[in-house]
Structure 1
C-alpha cells in the first residue's frame, strides 16, 4: 500500500527543489512567456511590406489601376523600373517581385486577345514569395475584370464568390503560431522537468539519501510526476490567460477548464516519458541528446507544424500512437473552434489510454532503476 504522507512530503521536496533551481525556473518562465510571444509575433504567414518593382510598358489606365491596387500593408509602394535594370536589381535582392506589363496591354484586353503579364519572383524568401505571387495574381485578375466590366457596361458577373472566415476572421497569424508555440512548449517542458528531476538527484548525490529512507520506488515516482506536472499545468493556464489572451489578443473560443483537463491527461504521458529518459540518462547533456532524438520528432510530426493530411498515408497512421498528435488535435479544437467534450472525447480517450500504458511501462522501468541503484 502507498503511504500518501510519504508522497506528500516528497511532493513538497520536489517543489522546493524546482524553486531553488533558479536557472531552470528562469528557463521555464521564459518558455511560457517571452518565447511564446516572440514565436507568435516574429513568425508571420501574412504578406507584409513586400518590395515590388514595375516595368510599365503600357502606361495606360488599366496598368495604373493595377499599380494602385498594390498598396500597403501587403506591399511597399511600387517602384518604376526600366527593362534593363531588372536583372541587376533582382541579383542584388532589391525587390522580391517585379511585374512586367507589356506594351498595348489595355488594348489587347479590350480586344479579347488575352495578353500575358510577366511576374518575376525572388523565391529566396519562400513563404513571402508563395503568398505574394498568389496575391499579385489576384490583384491583376480583379483589376482586369473590373476594367472590362466597366467598359462593357455590365453590372454584375455571372458568378459571385462570397468568402467567410471561420474561427479566425482577421486571419491573424499570431493566434496560430502562439498556440502552436504553447503546445510545443508544454511537451518539451513537461519532459525536461520530469527527466531533470531524476538526473538532478543523481548529479547532486541526493538519490542515495532517498534510497536509505523508508519510501517505495512508486512513491518517489509519483511525487516527481505530480510536482512537475503541477508546475507545467499552472504555467500553461497562466500562459493561455495572460500571454495568448491578454498579450497577443487571441480570442479563446472554448472552455479553459476543458483544456486544463486535456492538458492534465497529456501530462500523465509527458512526465512519465521524461522520467523514463531520466532513468537511462547519466547526465543532463546525455538527456538533452535523448530529448532531441525522441521528443523533437514527436513534436514535428504531431500536426502542429505540418498538417497530418500533408504527410504520407503510412505516416499519418503511425503518428496516431503518439499522444502528442492527439494533444495538438484537441488543444486546437478547444482553443480555436470552441469544441466541447462531445467533439474531443476520442482524442481524450486515446491520450489517456496511451498515457496509462506508458505510465505503467515507466513505473516498471523506474522500479528496476531504483533496484539497480540499491544493489
Structure 2
C-alpha cells in the first residue's frame, strides 16, 4: 500500500479542513511532497479515546493495541513514530472511517485538529498505543501476557502518560517493572487518587503523577530505568509515601524513606557541580543497597564520622556561614567567594575537599559557595 507524504506546512493550509471533509485532499498535488512510504496494510483502528464511557474507552484501547500489534509494528521505525506519516495516512486514506466513527470532526475544525492532526507526542492516542504495544510485544510472546499488560496500561493510563512524557522513562523494562509493581501491590486506585492537603500542587494533581515526577527529579542520582523490579519497588514505595499515607496500605511493614527525598535540591546541586547529567554513561553493574538511606554518597559516611564535629567547629571559629545537609544524604556547603579558599585549603590534609561554584546552588540561594566533594 502506498502512502504519499504531505509537504511541510500542510497544517497551515487554510483549505485543508474543507478539503478533508469533501474528500479532495488526494486530488490536490500541492499538498504532497515527492516522498512515498510503502506498507503492507492499513486496517482501521480507534485513533481517539477521549469520549464515551470507561468501558467504551477500554474496548477501544484494546482493539487499537491488537490492530497496531498485528498490522503496524512491522513498519520501519523511522516512519512508525513519524508525525507526517500518520497525518498523511489519516488525511489521505482514512477520511470515510474518521467521519463515520467520529462525526463530531465534521462539526468543528478544532475537533478535527484535536482528533486527526494532534501533535504526535505523549498526548496523542496513536503514539501512546504504538509505544505501549511495542514495549509489550518486545518482551512477551504469550497473548495472555500481552493482554494482561495492555489492561494494566489502560487501568493506569494517567500514570502511563506521565511515564512516556519523560524521555528517560521511554524504556520497556522500566514500564513493565512499574506496571508489575502496581499490579502486585494493587495500587491502581491509589495512584489515580487526588492528593489531599497539598493545595500547592494544584487542584487536580494525582498521586501517580507525583511518583513519576519524583523518579524524574532523582535522575541521575538514582538510575531508576536500570534497576531491577525489587530495587525499583523500594523507591516506588518511598516516593509514594511522600504523597500518600502508606501505613494504610502496608500496616505490617515499617517503611522509613525520608532521607533521599528530604533534600533533593541539594543532591541535584552536587551532581550538577560534578558535571553529572542525564547523558552520563550508565553502569551495567549499578546496585542499590538494602537500606535506601545509604544509597547516596556512601564514601562520605566515613569522613562524616571522623571529622563532622571538628569540621563545624573549624568553620565557626573562622566565622564562615555553612549549610550542612549531610545527614539527609546531601552535601556541606560553605557560603563565600574565592577569598575563603585559604581557610578551606588546610582541610585537604584531613581528607576534606571543597569545590567552588561561583553561582552557588539552590541550597546556597545562588550565592557563591563551596561544596564538600569526594575526589
TM-score > 0.5, shorter chain as reference: no
Q: TM-score normalised by the shorter chain: which range applies?
A: under 0.3
Q: Which has the higher contact order (CA 8 A, sep 6+)?
A: 1
User: If the length of structure 1 is used for normalisation, what is the TM-score?
Assistant: 0.26
User: Which protein has the bigger helix share?
Assistant: 1
TM-score (structure 2 length as normaliser):
0.26
